[in-house]
Amino acid sequence: NPNFKKFTSPVSALSGGQRQSVAIARALLFEARVLIMDEPCAALGVHETKMVGELIDQLKRDGLGILLISHDLHDVFDLSDRLHVMKNGKLVGSVRTEDVTHDDVLGMIILGKMPEHLLHLAGPGATNAPDAQSAANNS
């Protein structure tokens, strides 16, 4: 519920959260099965961020796939089931959000590698996953 007062209001008169809702509605009109959302909560206030988050949660419950790109770890942890950290165009790791802490993710971002205690969760293609390390050693 984006809380629109008038359905005839021009998009330019809407709040940031309402504009995001309109953009999502446009995608759904084309029966999209996957939404790619780049920083959907950037520059939104607390209330608008909550509104967009509730909309994303509902879409996930409805079975829509959502690829969320965000630098805001609060958004990442609140809205995602899995996270993928990339650095310099390379995958650092792919893990379930519930398996890591904010500090783990910050370490992945800053150091560009999985923390040792999470290597078993790194996912295929991670930069320091055991299979990537052995491939690098064999080349």
Looking at the fold, whether 85 and 68 belong to one and the same domain comes out as no
Closest to 82 in 3D by CA, of 98, 105, 101: 98
Tell me whether residue 106 is in a domain: yes
- For residue range 75-120, list pLDDT tens digits in order: 899 999 999 999 988 999 899 999 999 999 999 999 998 888 888 8
Measured distance between the N- and C-terminal CA atoms of the chain, rounded to whole angstroms: 55
What is the domain extent for residue 120?
81-132
- pLDDT at 135 (0 to 100): 44
Last residue of a domain, one of 31, 49, 74: 74
Tell me whether residue 111 is in a domain: yes
